[in-house]
Structure 1
Amino acid sequence: MVFPERFSNLPAHAWPRLRNLLDVSEGGGPAIHMTIGEPKHAFPAWVMDVIAENAVGFNSYPPNEGSPELRGAIAGFVQRRYDVALDPDTQVMALNGTREGLYNAVMALCPEAKNGQRPAILMPNPFYQVYMIAALGVAADPIMVPATLETAHLPDFAGLPEDVLNRTTAAYICSPANPQGAVATRDYWRDLIALAEKYDFKIFADECYSEIYRDTPPVGALQVAQEMGADLNRVVIFHSLSKRSNLPGLRSGFVASGAENIREIRQLRNFAGAPLPLPLQAAAAAVWNDEAHVIENRAMYVEKYKAADRILGHIPGYASPEAGFFLWLPVENDEAAAVKLWRETGVRVLPGGYLAQDWNGTNPGQKYIRAAMVAPQAETEHGITLIRDCLYPQ
C-alpha cells in the first residue's frame, strides 16, 4: 500500500518539542505554566445546570448543523457584536471546536487547482498550525507570510508576487492575532477583502480572541464585508467559546459566512463530522446568549494587561498587547530563554520559533517567547515578575 507523504516530513508539534526541551532538567521553583492558552477563569456556574436539565439529549443523535436554538443564539451574538444579520438556517453552522472548522473549510471550499496550477493557501507566520495542515491536506502550497514588527504583526498579503496571488484559493488571518495580540483595523480588512476580490480567493478569519480586548471591540471581517457591499461568501469567520467564556472543554464554536459556503461546509460535515451532543449544544446556546459573564471575564484580562505594562513596560521592544491573552516578548534566543526561565524560576513559556516556520531562511518567531496570561491575577503577576527578573534584569 502506498501512503501519501504530505504529512510525513512535518516538524514536531510545538508541545512535544517543548517537553523535549524543558523536561530534561528540573525547574528552579514551583512550576508556573504560561505555555498553553487554556483559560483558567471560572466559566458561568449555571452551565452545569443547563447540561443536567438537558441530559436526556444524550439519548439522541444531535443535528449536524447545530440545533435551531444554538444556531439562533450564534446569529444573535453576531447581530449584537457586529451588526450583521445572519440567517441561522443557512449562514451559520455549529462546530465541535473551532479547529474542526478551520481545517474543514479548506476541504470544503478550496478547489484542487486554480488557473491550471497547484493552489496556494496563505497564512501568517507565526501561525496556528492547523492552517498549514489544512493546506497540506488538500495538496496545496502553504504560503507563510511574515507577521512581524515591520508589518504591525499582521501579514502583508498584498506584497506577495502576482504569480502566487493568481493561484491563491484562500488566506487565513487571525485577528486578534495569536501570539502577538495585534488587531486588524477596518482599513486592513477593506484592503484584504479588495485583494481577495481582485484575485478571487476566500478569507478565513480566525476571530477566536475577539472578545478579549482592552477598550475597543476589534472590528470583524464579516462586518467590514457587509459595509463594503461584498459578497458574504468572500469571508468565512470562526469563533469559539473557549476564550470568550472560559470553556475550552465544551468544544463549542461556529463558522458563519454566505449561504453558498455554509451549504458546502455542511455537506462535508454530513459525511465526516462529529456534532456536539445535544446537552452541550443547549449549554452553548445559553452561553452565546449571555454577555454578563463575558464582560466580567474581559475585565479580569484588562487588569492583567495593566500588570504586564507595569512590570515589563521598561523593556526595550516590549509591546503591550492590543487584545488576546498572550505576551510576545523579545529575547535573543527563544529556546535558550525558555530553558533559562525554567531552570532558574520554574516558569514555563513557549519558544516563539515553535509557532512559526523557516521561510526564506528565517524564522520570525525565534527572537520571541510567548507567555500566556490565563492563570488567576496573583499567579500571572508572579510569573511575569519572574520573567522580568530572570530575562530582563535592570
Structure 2
Amino acid sequence: MNPLLNKLQPYPFERLRQLFANVTPNPALPPISLGIGEPKHPTPDFIKHALTAGLGALAAYPATAGEQKLRQSFTDWLQTRYALALDPATQVLPVNGSREALFALAQTVVDASATPAPIVVSPNPFYQIYEGAALLAGAETYYVPSRADRNFAVDWDSVPDEVWARAQLVFVCSPGNPTGAVMPLDEWKKLFALSDRHGFVIASDECYSEIYFRDEPPLGGLEAAAKLGREDFKNLIALTSLSKRSNVPGLRSGFVAGDAAIIKKFLLYRTYHGSAMSGAVAAASIAAWGDEQHVVENRAQYRAKFAAVTPLLEPVLDVKLPDASFYLWAGVPAKWNGDDAAFARDLYAQYNVTVLPGSYLARDSGGVNPGRGRIRMALVAGTDECVAAANRIVQFIQSGQ
C-alpha cells in the first residue's frame, strides 16, 4: 500500500461521527443539521431537463479537454462575471467538481523529488482536500493561520522566507471555508510577488464566489491578476464549481482556468487520470453556466436566511455576517473554555442540532489551533429550519448547561 496514506487524518465528518457515537440526542426535537456544507435549495428544472436531453452522449467516450461549446461556456461566464477574455482552447478545462480538481492539480504541480522536500502552503483552518492532496503528492504542508483580529484574513506575512523558498503550491480559498473572508487586491499583489520570486503555483479555490452579502461581488484570483496587469495569469489557476452556485452538488461539475502552460500539463495528467466529463453532465453544465437568473434567486434566498438567523445568534455567540459563502463561523461562549467539541456534543445531545467543531477544520500550528473555540454552521437548509436551529442554540446557551 502507498505509505503516504498513513499520513492522512480522519475527515472532519468522521471525527464528528465519533464525537456523537455514544450520544442520544433529545428525541422530543426533530434533528437539524448545520454540519455539512451541502446545498439544499432545489436544483433548477432547466438544468435537469438539459441533463436528460443530453443522455444520448452516453454512447460516446467524452473528450478530456471537453467540447468547444463547453469550454466556451466557461469563458463566456468569466467574461460576464469578471470582464475577462480567456482562450477557450488553452486557458480552461472542465473538471468533475472543484474537489477532484484541487486534488489532481497538486499531483500535477508538485515535484516530490525536489531537495529539500517541497512544501504546499495552506490556509488554516482549511478545506481538508488541500492537506490530503499535498501529502499524497509527497509534499510537506505548512499551515498559515486565518486570524480573528484581521477579520479572518490569512496572515501571509507570518510565513518565513525559508518556507516560501521551498513552496511549490499555495492554496487560496476566497471566499473562505469556513470563515467566509474574501481576499482583497493588496493581498493578491503580495502573493503574486512572492510567486514571481519563488516560482510556486497558486491554486485559487473559488467555489463560494456567487454566494455573497455585499453589493460588490467577491474579487476573484484571475480578476485580481488582470487588475494588476498579469493578463497571462502566470502561475495562477482558479477553480470553480456549479455545486453551490446552481445547487447541483451531485452533478460534480466545474472548471479550472488560468496559466495556459499549467493547463497544458494538467490536461496531460487528466488524460491518463481518466477524468473526462460525461457528455450529459456537459450539456447540463452549459445550460447552468449560461443562466444568471437562477443564481440571483439562489443568492437572494441565502441573503434572506442569513438576515433572519444572524441577529438571533449575535447576542449569544461571537458571530457576524460573513463577506460571502453559506457558513457562519462563530466563537463559543466563555463558559465552554474554548472547547468547541464539547459545545457541539452538548448541543446535539440536548437540542438535536448538529454543528461542526472548528478545531476539526484546522491543525495545530505553533502550538495554536486557530479553529479552537469556534464552530461552523452551514445555513444550507430552508429558512424556517435554520431559524428553528438558531432558536434552539439560543435556548441551549441561555439554559446555562
Alignment of 1:53-92 (within 5 A): 53-92=53-92
Deviation string, structure 1 residues 150-187 (Cα, Å, up to 9, x no partner)? 34312222321111111111110100000011111122
Deviation string, structure 1 residues 95-154 (Cα, Å, up to 9, x no partner)? 01111111111111233355x421111000111111111111221111011112034312
Alignment of 1:180-259 (within 5 A): 180-214=179-213, 215-230=215-230, 231-259=232-260
- Checking the alignment, whether the CA contact within 8 Å between 1:337 and 1:391 is kept in structure 2 is no
Deviation at 1:346? 0.6
Structure 1 distance, partners of 2:345, 2:110, is: 41
Structure 2 distance, partners of 1:75, 1:34, is: 34
3-state SS in 2 of match to 1:166: helix
Structure 1 distance, partners of 2:318, 2:33, is: 23
Matched, 1:134 2:140: no
- Out of 360, 370, 373, the residue aligned to residue 376 of structure 2 is 370
Equivalent residue number for residue 103 of structure 1: 103
Equivalent residue number for residue 338 of structure 1: 344
Structure 2 distance, partners of 1:307, 1:10, is: 39
- Checking the alignment, whether the CA contact within 8 Å between 1:182 and 1:321 is kept in structure 2 is yes
Deviates more, 1:44-53 or 1:117-126: 44-53
Question: Which residue type is aligned with residue 156 of structure 1?
Answer: D
Deviates more, 1:16-25 or 1:287-296: 16-25
Deviation at 1:220? 0.7
- TM-score scaled to structure 2, two decimals? 0.94
Matched, 1:349 2:355: yes
Deviation at 1:216? 1.7
Deviation at 1:381? 1.0
Give 5+ residue unaligned stretches, structure 1: none
Give 5+ residue unaligned stretches, structure 2: 333-337
Deviation at 1:393? 5.8
3-state SS in 1 of match to 2:216: coil
Which runs of at least 4 in structure 1 moved beyond 6 Å after TM superposition?
none
Question: Which residue type is aligned with residue 19 of structure 1?
Answer: R
Deviation at 1:276? 2.0
Deviation at 1:83? 1.0
Deviates more, 1:146-155 or 1:272-281: 146-155
Question: Which residue type is aligned with residue 240 of structure 1?
Answer: S
Structure 2 distance, partners of 1:388, 1:190, is: 41
Question: Which residue type is aligned with residue 108 of structure 1?
Answer: T
Structure 1 distance, partners of 2:287, 2:68, is: 13
Equivalent residue number for residue 265 of structure 1: 266
Equivalent residue number for residue 283 of structure 1: 284
Deviation at 1:316? 5.5
Equivalent residue number for residue 32 of structure 1: 32
Question: Which residue type is aligned with residue 368 of structure 1?
Answer: R
3-state SS in 2 of match to 1:354: helix
Structure 1 distance, partners of 2:229, 2:380, is: 38
Change (3 A) 1:300 1:388: same
Equivalent residue number for residue 274 of structure 1: 275
Deviation at 1:392? 5.1
Equivalent residue number for residue 308 of structure 1: 309
Question: Which residue type is aligned with residue 212 of structure 1?
Answer: I
Equivalent residue number for residue 174 of structure 1: 173
- Checking the alignment, whether the CA contact within 8 Å between 1:69 and 1:282 is kept in structure 2 is no
3-state SS in 2 of match to 1:25: coil
- Checking the alignment, whether the CA contact within 8 Å between 1:124 and 1:154 is kept in structure 2 is no
Structure 2 distance, partners of 1:393, 1:86, is: 56
Equivalent residue number for residue 389 of structure 2: 383
Structure 2 distance, partners of 1:391, 1:75, is: 48
Equivalent residue number for residue 10 of structure 1: 8
3-state SS in 1 of match to 2:347: helix
- Checking the alignment, whether the CA contact within 8 Å between 1:305 and 1:321 is kept in structure 2 is no
- Checking the alignment, whether the CA contact within 8 Å between 1:103 and 1:131 is kept in structure 2 is yes
- TM-score scaled to structure 1, two decimals? 0.96
Structure 1 distance, partners of 2:282, 2:151, is: 38
Aligned residues between the structures: 391
Q: Superposition RMSD on alpha carbons, in Å?
A: 1.5
Deviation string, structure 1 residues 231-267 (Cα, Å, up to 9, x no partner)? 4132110000000000000000111112111100000
Structure 1 distance, partners of 2:398, 2:68, is: 53
Deviation at 1:317? 2.6
Deviation string, structure 1 residues 41-93 (Cα, Å, up to 9, x no partner)? 11211122112222111111111122222111111111111111111111000
Equivalent residue number for residue 335 of structure 2: none
Deviates more, 1:345-354 or 1:145-154: 145-154
- Checking the alignment, whether the CA contact within 8 Å between 1:40 and 1:375 is kept in structure 2 is yes
Structure 1 distance, partners of 2:84, 2:314, is: 38
